[in-house]
Structure 1
Amino acid sequence: MSQYFELFQLPEQFDINLDMLTQRYHALAAQCHPDKFAHQSAFEQKQAMMMATTVNEAYRTLKSPLDRAAYLLQQQGIAADAPEHTHFAPEFLMQQMEWRECLEEGQLAHDETVLTNLSTEIDDAQAALEHTLAAALGEQSWEEAAELVRQGRFLSKLHHEIQAALP
């Protein structure tokens, strides 16, 4: 079992109980908060700081569906976010170009409706992608899951750009 899932006593899988994750995060964060170790030795203070850092990083990773998927893939020896992985299916590349054009048009025209509709479309695409990603991970289709993580990273970046363009 991988360290992050073990730390939060969760099954090593894509679909997790986010309420349980948050509840266990708060309990662990309280246990290892550096302030609790202020009167301890320098070694114990350093250990508490390292544990707090690990707990925070684990929570951030497991809370995000894309980061959680990338972490699960990492446990299989697959670096989904490695820079050498730039291949996308032609259909996804065409869709990327359409979304980018729509974003550019909405920005140039200062058209909030266009941007809001694009944001909704991207949200729907992200939800569909996460569903497909869960299935790919469940079937241990590691390479498909890695490609979906990369597509999800693009969608996430585009979503942030759209939000930044909205008034």
Structure 2
Amino acid sequence: MWKKKLYASTPLSTILLSTRILAKIHSPKHAPLLNPLLQISASCSPSPPPFVREIEVQFFPTSGGIFFGGPRFHKENFNLFVKKKNCFCSVSQSAEKLECWNCDAIADSPMPFLVCQACRSVQPVDHSIDYFQILGVERKYNIEVDKLEGKYKDWQKKLHPDLVHSKSQREREYAAEQSARVIDAYRTLTDPLSRAIYILKLENVVVDEEERITEPELLAEIMELREAVEEAESAQALNQIKAQIQGKMQYWCNSFEDALLNKNYEDAIASIQRMTYYKRANEEIIKKL
């Protein structure tokens, strides 16, 4: 009852300022860090309060800062606290691991977790997993495209509608979403232009593919290419033009990779814009062949 009366009648600042801290520092080198704490009462209260309550506070240095302990908190208890604290951290980290919605099994590795290894249930889409992780390749522009097909087919076998037709509606929906995402991942990473745009997206760089190029030399080259394609009368002539375009495309792919490695995003975007024009020209040739 007296505590309620004290809290009701006495401002909190007075209670705090009426406490003298008797510090017991377990590491002398941390004393300078604690001086401001020990001087709070003196700096905030111009005159001493009517009564002073003394408490002993022990300071223990830790890797994360300074731990405050009471007078009965012994060094042995502190060591035990640190060990327990580390245990709690490990539990917290394991709790962040992905769990199967069906059997609660924890994923062996956090990425990618498309299908549970324990019960084989298809998992919901996790958008934090990028396309490179889905197809099991390093996140970089220059990748071995031939290796993507094998991983793509493996995922589609696990996500095929025939394998989930007898499953619940929930899992069938998960399978449809995951399958669509795997298809998009494969199409994106196998195409040099789409892969370039996607990897910049992962770097939080927005690319406007429709931005017009105003360089006179490039515009003149594009016009010549279009005229050559329109005037070509044989497949041989078209294939020759196609080979030239592919050479130009490879040049700007290499230019993009260099810009990306140097984090020169302005040059990377310029390379993408040129790749876009050459890809369109190549598509026009394919239509005529």
The two structures have a TM-score, normalised by structure 1, of 0.86
The corresponding residue for 1:132 is 255
> Which structure: larger Rg?
2
Higher helix share: 1
Cα deviation, residue 116, structure 1: 3.0
Once the two structures are superposed, the pairs formed by residues 1-167 of structure 1 within 5 Å of their partners are: 3-83=130-210, 85-106=211-232, 110-166=233-289
2:270 counterpart letter in structure 1: E
AA partner of residue 141 (structure 1): N
Pick closer, same or farther for the CA change 1:163–1:82 going to 2, 3 Å. closer
Task: Out of 93-102 and 38-47, give the one that drifted further.
Answer: 93-102
Q: How many residues align?
A: 162
d(CA) in 2 for partners of 1:14, 1:44:
34
What is the percentage of aligned positions where both structures have the same residue? 27
CA distance in 2, matches of 1:90, 1:22: 40
Q: How far 1:2 sits from its partner (Å)?
A: 5.7
8 A contact 1:66–1:153 mirrored in 2: yes
Distance 1:27 1:147, change over 3 A: same
Rounded Cα–Cα distance in structure 2 between residues aligned with 1:164 and 1:137: 32
State the secondary structure of the residue aligned to 1:40: coil
Preserved contact between residue 14 and residue 134 of structure 1 (Cα < 8 Å): yes
1:40 is matched by which residue type in structure 2? K
Give the alignment's Cα RMSD to 1 decimal.
Answer: 1.9
> Against the structure 1 CA distance between its residues 112 and 42, is the aligned structure 2 distance closer, same or farther, given a 3 Å change threshold?
closer
* 2:249–2:278 contact (8 Å) kept in structure 1: yes
CA contact (8 A) 1:25 1:55 kept: yes
Distance in 1, matches of 2:248 and 2:148, equals 25
Cα distance between partner residues in 2 of 1:44 and 1:2: 19
With over 3 angstroms needed to count, the CA separation of the structure-2 counterparts of 1:142 and 1:36, relative to structure 1, is: same
**Structure 1 residues 132-141 or 150-159, which shifts more?**
132-141
Task: Give the unaligned 5+ runs of structure 1.
Answer: none
1:102 aligns to what SS in structure 2? helix
Shift of 1:88: 4.5
**Could you list the per-position Cα deviations for residues 14-53 of structure 1 after superposition, in whole angstroms to 9, with x for gaps in the alignment?**
0112232222111111111122111000011000111001
C-alpha distance in 2, partners of 1:113/1:44?
51
- 1:88–1:147 CA contact under 8 A, matched in 2: no
Counterpart residue identity of residue 277, structure 2: F
Higher relative contact order (CA closer than 8 Å, sequence separation 6+):
1
